[in-house]
Amino acid sequence: MAKRRKFVYHGHHGIEGQEAACLWCGKPTASHEYVVNPGGDPVLKCCCEEHFESTVSFVNHDARMRPLFYVAVGLCAIASWIAIAFLDFQPVWTPMPFVALSAVILIWPRVLPRYEYYLPLGLVKTRKIVRAIALVALVFSLYVAGVRLGVLPG
Ligand SMILES: [Zn+2]
């Protein structure tokens, strides 16, 4: 009997010959040539060399940038807390950390902590969706800030 696997993603285990989603574009692929994490579970693989290289450079870049991203998000959270706790009398500043947080996520849409979370749609589409949400949040928080600053009508 096959060893039980901890993770099952849409029934795809990444076993040779089985279809699984390309981590980059999300298209199902039966190819087993471009595995990002050999021996990993679940296996993260790509449909072609181009997507494999894009994914590997994303993962390498992500590993380097992730601590910075968390520091930036942490600073926004602290700034937001300070703004809410201490700047009650200047509500103009309370949306500002949210503006910064939205901008950070818009620039670095790397909110998902595990690569397999990108599998259902692929890296490209998932990042687009995260960016779209961050953009809406940014526009909204800028609008709130604009109203409070008296630049925009409330
Ligand atoms: Zn692909």
- Span from the CA of 68 to the centroid of ligand 1 (angstroms): 28
pLDDT value of residue 1: 37
- Span from the CA of 36 to the centroid of ligand 1 (angstroms): 12
Q: Higher model confidence: residue 132 or residue 151?
A: 132
pLDDT value of residue 145: 85
Q: Higher model confidence: residue 110 or residue 91?
A: 110
Ranges 74-78, 118-122, 128-132: which has the least confidence: 74-78
Alpha-carbon distance 137 to 52, whole Å?
A: 32
pLDDT value of residue 132: 94
Over residues 6-60, the pLDDT tens digits come to 333 333 444 555 678 899 999 998 887 888 887 777 788 899 999 999 999 998 8
- Span from the CA of 43 to the centroid of ligand 1 (angstroms): 14
Query: What is the Cα 113 distance to its own chain's centre?
Result: 8
pLDDT value of residue 56: 92
Alpha-carbon distance 35 to 43, whole Å?
A: 7
Short-list 63, 47, 77, 53, CA closest to 113: 63
Alpha-carbon distance 123 to 50, whole Å?
A: 14
The answer to whether residue 3 scores a pLDDT higher than 50 is: no
- Span from the CA of 54 to the centroid of ligand 1 (angstroms): 10
- Span from the CA of 48 to the centroid of ligand 1 (angstroms): 6
Residue 65 is encoded by which pair of tokens? 């940038």
- Span from the CA of 17 to the centroid of ligand 1 (angstroms): 16
Alpha-carbon distance 101 to 62, whole Å?
A: 18
56 and 70 Cβ atoms separated by less than 8 Å:
no
- Span from the CA of 153 to the centroid of ligand 1 (angstroms): 46
Over residues 105-123, the pLDDT tens digits come to 888 887 777 888 888 899 9
CB-neighbour burial class of residue 129 (10 A; exposed 0-12, middle 13-18, buried 19+): exposed
Indicate whether this model's pTM tops 0.85: no
What percentage of residues in the chain have a pLDDT greater than 70?
A: 83
35 and 60 Cβ atoms separated by less than 8 Å:
no
pLDDT value of residue 101: 85
Q: What is the torsional sign of CA 115, 120, 122, 126?
A: negative
